[in-house]
A and B are shown apart, each in its own frame.
Chain A
Amino acid sequence: MSITRKPEPVDAIVVGLGANGGTAAKVLSEAGLKTVGFDRGPWLRAHEHYSGDELKFVNRDYMWPDPKMFPRTIRYDENAEAERFPFSPTPQMVGGGTNHWAGWVPRPRESDFMMRSLHGDVDGASLADWPFRYEHLEPYLTKVEWAFGISGIAGADKYEPYRSKGYPSPPLRPTRYGKRFYDACNKMGINAFPIPHAMVTNNHNGREPFNQTSFWNQYGDPSGARSNILTTFIPDALATGNFEVRAESFVREVKLGKDGKATGVIYIDAEGNEVEQDAKVVVLALGAIESSRLMMLSKSSQFPDGLANGSGLLGKNATFHEYLFAVGLFDKDIDEPLNGWTGNYISGGSLEFYETDENRGHIGGCIISASQTCHPVNWVFPGRPSWGDALKDADRNYFNYAMKIGLILHDLPVESNRVDLDPTVKDAFGLPVARITHRPHSNDVAMGKWQVDKNMEILEAAGARKTVPVYLDKMTGNTCHQHGTARMGTDPAKSVLNEWGQAHEVENLFVVDGSGFPTATGVNPTLTMMANAWRCSDYIADVYSKGRKERLVIAN
């Protein structure tokens, strides 16, 4: 193919308009930079395209990436041949994952930024400290909470570190299973509280949150309730007059100039034409799997192993946060219904078990939450019989009499857990797809087991008459949380990006998604990612674009 067009150069390109690219687009365009944003997916209109259709949103890939267009492969063993599998299938459309996420947005903890200092060398793991600390992120966490719209109650989370401001919106009324969770936790002395939620329940920033349908996780929201990049930061960016969206435009390469700086990108537009767009700064936010893949696809004589990959760490140390849980069943003849399909996915959670307690036999810990068991076709009952009277009875007896308590596994980075290019499988554009190689660290398995068992205890305290645990055997990427593939750090030999998400080796290339996370954290990552994207974008606008340079020094 050859380049058919070359539009006017701009100040900044943002590739991927999800949680993080959307944040970057807002900050850069508001700072006056002429910015073009690309997304391989469509630019849908929430109020017009979204509704409570379980088949379309959960079973068919109206939002999930089409496995034929964008396949991925996985192998659980270095020597095995990777198989096609929709591993961590983060959505593709303007707004990215925020279009249909559940939206748990807890803050990270101070310990998350210093796993290496706290735990030293852990066998088989590659722990690293972050090149900044919670205190550096705190102002940005607050900015995101207010600009994006988060509901919660400050002070309810006993273990939360310092915060400079409360929440803009109060939490949703608890569900019935949420109430059971609160009661059980209070019995057990566990600090349960409404997990901060990427939704507003009041009229905030002109939004009208009328959605009370309980069609939430995996569904698009036609109202103003969900905090979705598509309906918040994209309109903010467009309002500046400095921003343009190019949807259904697949970026296939970041180009490198002779001076060692990125000159722009090559993309394939909706018609199938190859177009070249130049810019002074290139910001990547495709998600940690695709950002590292794009850098690997952007090879050159200067960087034969992938763009800005002198360290050889590109794609490595990938972490994915598997979602594990336990389901409790109740007795229809005795117990009150729990209506597990109601709510906006999460209803009460806790960080009681977050910090390391060596007595548990593992380091680190993670967030837990009572959450929706979802809708009739796909309701979450592992062990639901596949057919016959047994299926019918199970649906009749337990659909309204089940609850689940899940956790977000804080998996440790391992250098060999990685993303690279699959040697044979290609996507719809003929380019090699991302191949994931992964084997959980023993700490991951131990943490998962301990916490799922604890969740079963809580279910029992809540009155469950049977519990079904879901333990970790292998990663499926079921949370769509992706981190670590282009570590941030201060040493160019041990990291790909610096503390501003700036590639050590290509000064006008920034990566502002989870790729930079040196460790995974034990909370849902997107609030942390967006705060970091905002922080890095501020640096691009206020420092880098003005021809200056700054380093962040961590005081000990």
Chain B
Amino acid sequence: MTLKADWPVINGPVDPDSEERLFFTEHEWETVEAATARIIPTDQDPGAREARVVVFIDRYLSGIDYVYAAADGSGFLKMSGRYADAWRARMADMQRTYREGLRNLDDVSVLEQGGIFKELSEEGQDRVLEVISGAPKPDKVTLGTKEAVTTFLQGSFDEGLEFFPALCLHTKQGFYGDPVYGGNKEQMGWKFIGFPGPKSLKDTMDGTYSTHEYFMEGEFDWEDLVPQLKVSTFRDAEA
């Protein structure tokens, strides 16, 4: 049994331009490409289609060989033991969710719009997504209003998600995740959102990647930020 600390590295980084399909059928691939392009559409900036989100989702769903990138981004970790068992079971559920979800997407498309999803107009596709999500297309955020929200967990697992929420989550993951996973081609998701991400995961391990310049600029004095320091008696010996 290989302990988790010793999981070997397999494969290499995913090629975002790959046309090879590991999980989807050709029809499913084209449908996912069309649907993710409505979740993060292309406008003056690239969207899910250009970032190759479909490649990302296909690799993820293909089994358990693309779940965890190696820390330095050189490939992927080969899981074993109970961890592998748990992921295999989870992935089998997610594969079923996608297969059935995509079939249903076409069924709803035919029923509502008279054609399969990938052949509908963008408006027609949005209408179908409204139906399967059970809610109107989200409104744009406006300033100057107040909406209250209630508590939720940190982190965002996909275990147990239904098709549409899973697709939305995976689209964001494929658009904004590290390029090693296949999406976010040429870091276009990061460039779009204004996140100066690392060139490679390895750069985050050895001090190469620094975000220092994005912190507060210029000289500063703690006494200006914390006026209490001007009156307090206790100060660190070293500070």
Contacts and interface: CB of A to CB of B under 8 A. Distances in A.
Contacts of B83: 66, 69
Interface string B194-223: 110010011011110111101111001010
A225 to B, nearest CB: 10
Interface in A54-88: 54-56, 58-62, 64, 66-69, 84, 86
A278 interface: no
Interface string B107-139: 000000000000000000010010001000111
A213 B198 contact: yes
Contacts of A53: 69, 71, 73, 178, 180, 201
Chain B residues touching A, range: 35 or more
B237 A166 contact: yes
Given A386-B138, A472-B150, A210 B207 contact: yes
Given A59-B156, A386-B168, A399-B194, 12 more contacts: A43-B3, A158-B228, A174-B216, A193-B228, A210-B207, A214-B214, A270-B3, A386-B133, A396-B192, A470-B152, A473-B151, A478-B153
Interface stretch (A307-315, A372-380, A487-495): A372-380
A54 B71 contact: no
A208 B146 CA distance: 45
Interface residues of A, number: 115
Given A193-B226, A392-B47, A395-B193, A69 B86 contact: yes
The 4 closest A-B pairs by CB, nearest first: A166-B236, A155-B232, A52-B204, A42-B4
A138 interface: no
A389 B38 CA distance: 8
Interface of B: 1, 3-5, 38-41, 43, 45, 47, 67-69, 71-73, 81-83, 86-87, 89-90, 126, 129, 133, 137-160, 165, 168-169, 171-173, 175-178, 180-181, 189-190, 192-195, 198, 201-202, 204-207, 209-212, 214-217, 220, 222, 225-229, 232-239
B146 A155 contact: no
Contacts of A202: 238
A369 interface: no
B3 A248 contact: yes
A167 B38 contact: no
Contact of B209 (A52, A55, A59): A52
A265 B210 CA distance: 46
B218 to A, nearest CB: 10
Interface of A: 41-45, 47-56, 58-62, 64, 66-69, 84, 86, 89, 153-158, 163, 166-168, 170-171, 173-176, 178-179, 182, 186, 191-194, 202, 210-215, 217-218, 222-223, 247-248, 270-271, 322-324, 329, 331, 337, 339, 341-343, 348, 375-378, 382-383, 385-400, 428, 465-478
15 contacts: A43-B3, A69-B83, A154-B235, A191-B226, A192-B225, A211-B207, A248-B4, A329-B141, A388-B39, A389-B41, A392-B40, A400-B193, A465-B144, A466-B143, A473-B151
A413 to B, nearest CB: 19
A41 B3 CA distance: 10
B38 A58 contact: no
Contacts of A54: 176-178
A58 B162 CA distance: 20
Contacts of A214: 211, 214
A314 B191 CA distance: 52
A428 B86 contact: yes
Contact of A387 (B138, B147, B177, B192): B138
A466 B172 CA distance: 24
Contacts of A45: 5
B176 A377 contact: yes
Contacts of A155: 228-229, 232-236
B150 A212 contact: no
A400 B68 CA distance: 28
Q: Which of A48, A58, A217, A391 has the most CB of B within 10 A?
A: A391
Given A213-B198, A377-B176, A399-B194, A383 B71 contact: no
Given A155-B235, A215-B204, A392 B41 contact: yes
B67 A60 contact: yes
Contact of A194 (B73, B82, B165, B226): B226
Given A51-B205, A56-B68, A470-B150, A378 B156 contact: yes
Q: Which of B165, B168, B207 has the most CB of A within 10 A?
A: B207
Nearest to A343: B215
A218 B150 contact: no
Given A383-B141, A388-B138, A50 B149 contact: no
Contacts of B159: 67-68
A191 B230 CA distance: 12
B105 to A, nearest CB: 14
A28 to B, nearest CB: 24
Q: Which of A42, A218, A331 has the most CB of B within 10 A?
A: A42
